[in-house]
Amino acid sequence: MSRDKQLFPEDEIGDALWALQEDGEDLSLEHEVEFAVIFPDEQSALDFAIMLLQNGQKVAYSEYDGNDKLPWQVLAYPVMELSYEHISGYAALLSEHSADLGGQMDGWSAL
């Protein structure tokens, strides 16, 4: 099957979704997806995690050793179809709401 660049744009999200599709994953089914946001301090991570919890999201937070300047991590676990619109839209929402706390998106993965 050839890659539909409307469904799978040539960027990080589109490439990952295309790889899942090629591996036989049914992207139309809902999946739990892990989104990572990293923060400069524990309080910022906790404040963001609380905001997500107040909005009904499943979350986890912990220290993070992958970035010396952003050593705290919040993981969000929404359930969604694996589409470019859903993944990019949720990532943009997390980026927007974490920015005032110094947060930065650090990727996602389908579980």
Question: Which pLDDT value is given to residue 30?
Answer: 96
**Amino acid (1-letter code) at residue 4:** D
Could you tell me the CATH number of the domain that includes residue 44? 3.30.70.970
Mean pLDDT by 10 residues, the chain (111 residues): 92 97 95 99 98 98 97 99 97 98 98 92
Residue 40 lies in a domain: yes
**Dihedral of alpha carbons 80, 86, 92, 93, sign:** negative
Residue 32 lies in a domain: yes
Domain that holds residue 95: 28-110
Question: Which pLDDT value is given to residue 28?
Answer: 94
Question: Which pLDDT value is given to residue 1?
Answer: 77
Are 86 and 29 in contact, with CB atoms under 8 Å apart?
Answer: no
Total structural domains within the chain: 1
Quote the tokens at residue 41. 């301090």
Task: Enumerate the β-bridge partners of residue 34.
Answer: 109
C-alpha span between 79 and 68 (Å, rounded): 30
